[in-house]
Amino acid sequence: MESVVHFQEIEPEIVLLTMEDRVHKNTFSKELIDGLLEAFAVIEASNVYKVVVLTGYDSYFASGGTREGLLAIHEGREKFTDKNVYSLALDCKIPVIAAMQGHGIGGGFIMGLFADFVILSRESVYTTNFMKYGFTPGMGATCILPRKLGISLTEELLINSGTYRGAELEKRGIPFPVLPRAEVLGHALELARQIAEKPRYSLILLKDHLVAPIREELPSIVEREVMMHEKTFHQPEVRERINALFGK
């Protein structure tokens, strides 16, 4: 069965990963999770690649948890840590560019923020909407958001769970390029080519140095997020909100 994560060597040293689970609109389906894990395993095993571009399809980048996945956590059958896709970009030894040409929802937005370079679309929606479902944030959100966006905007995004267009976030001064959707991937590929001009060993060494503080603090923060989930995710109201927000 063909993977919903398409692996393409754009050039000998540049990998383009395109998430295209049209059936589930790039929510974290089993197919998408397995595809991402497999793709990054191939990248990890390579001694050639220098940079990864991660993108979605049409107006979707990544859309967060599925209804079934959220209910499984609510019922205590799963945890978001069972299969770690959120920090794949952080753990990747070479630089990763998140070309977020489409909507980034919940954990999908967080996954993109763990990349070394982030590019947003003016038209697309970005939100960390965990609290709309009644449970506290997971996926390492409380670690990466303050580091990438600052504590004030983080508190607004996480506590209020608002929905923002890329153009709105650009006005708020986020430190990422925000471009028309049609220009996001092209910008990312040009950036990738510039990165690929550098020696691979030096890229790996410098990334390892730059992200070391995040890698070191993330496990303890994720542990606390899981503890908060144990207190918030199993409330009856959460099931009601999940069903209501998914329209079932």
- Write out the catalytic residue numbers: 229
Find tokens 């479902």 and name the residue.
133
Q: Alpha-carbon distance 6 to 39, whole Å?
A: 8
Q: Listing from the earlier edge strand, what are the strands of the sheet with 96-100?
A: 5-11, 14-19, 51-55, 96-100, 117-121, 178-179
Q: Alpha-carbon distance 48 to 239, whole Å?
A: 46
Give the tokens for residue 242.
């999940």
Angle at CA of residue 126, ends 122 and 161, nearest 5°: 140
Q: Alpha-carbon distance 86 to 155, whole Å?
A: 20
Find tokens 């542990």 and name the residue.
223
AA identity, residue 225: E
Q: Are strands 5-11 and 14-19 parallel, antiparallel or unpaired?
A: antiparallel
